[in-house]
Copies of this chain bind each other. A is one copy, B any other.
Amino acid sequence: MRDAYHEELDSIGEGLVEMARLVGSAIGRATTAMLDADLKLAESVIEADKKVDDLQHDLEARAIALLARQQPVATDLRIVVTSLRMSADLERSGDLAQHVAKLTRLRFPERAVPRDLHATILEMGQLAQRLMAKAAEVIITKDVDLALQLESDDDAMDLLHRTLFQHLMDDRWKHGIETAVDVTLLGRYYERFADHAVSVAKRVVYLVTGEHADELQADIQPVQPVAGVEGA
C-alpha cells in the first residue's frame, strides 16, 4: 500500500507523462499541418498549447505544495526538484510545436516549406515526436538504457538539421530569402524540441543513477561531434 505522499509523487510523474504525450502529439500535428498547409489543424495545435501550460502550472503548484507539506529529503527531494525541471522542458517543447503551427498560419494559404524539403522536415517532425514518446517511456520505466538511446536519436536529428542547411546553402536554392528564413527557424524549432526531450531523459538518468548522462555515455561510446552552424 502506498501512502498519500507517494501517491502524490506518482501523480506528479503521471502529470509529466501526460505533458510529454500532449507535446509529442502537438509536434506531430504541427508538422502535418505545415506540410499540408492545413490551417484548421494548425489552429488546433496553437489552441491546445494552453492545456500544456495549465498542466505545468498545476504540476508546479502540486510539487511546491508537496515540498512545503512533506519536506522530503534525499531521493524524494531530488525527484520533486527534477520534476519541476522536466515540466519546464516539456512546457518549452509545447511552445516550439506551437511556433511551427504559427508559422503555418502565417504563410497560409501558401506552404512554408518547399516540396523538395518535405521529406527532410517530415523526418524531423517524426523523429521529434518519437523522441518525446521515448522520453515519456523513460519517465514511466526509468529505463537508463532507453534514456541513453535518446542521445543517439538526437545525433540523427543533428544530421537532419545539417541536411536542411546543405539545402539552404546549395547554389541551386531557388526559394528565396523568406523561405530560407522560415526553414532556418523551423530547423531550430525541431532541434530545440529534440534537445528538450533528451534533457528530460537525462534528468531521469540522473535521478536513477546519481550520475549525469554524459558521464555514463562517455563510458559506453564516444560521442561524434557533428560539424555545422554551432548551436543552430
> Hey, which bits of chain A sit against chain B, CB under 8 A?
64, 67-68, 71, 73-74, 77-78, 81, 84-85, 88, 95-96, 98-99, 102-103, 105-106, 165, 168-169, 173, 177-178, 180-182, 184-185, 188-189, 229-232
Q: Which residue of chain B lies nearest to A175 when distances are taken between CB atoms in the complex? A: B177
Copies in the complex: 2
Q: What CA separation (Å) do A184 and B229 show in the bound complex? A: 12
User: Would you call A81 and B84 a contact (CB within 8 A)?
Assistant: yes
User: Would you call A74 and B84 a contact (CB within 8 A)?
Assistant: no
User: Would you call A73 and B68 a contact (CB within 8 A)?
Assistant: yes
User: Would you call B103 and A229 a contact (CB within 8 A)?
Assistant: yes
Q: What CA separation (Å) do A214 and B44 show in the bound complex? A: 24
Contacts of A74 in B (CB 8 A): 68
A-B contact pairs, 15 of them (CB 8 A): A64-B78, A67-B77, A67-B81, A71-B73, A84-B85, A99-B232, A103-B231, A106-B230, A168-B178, A169-B181, A177-B180, A181-B184, A185-B229, A185-B232, A189-B231
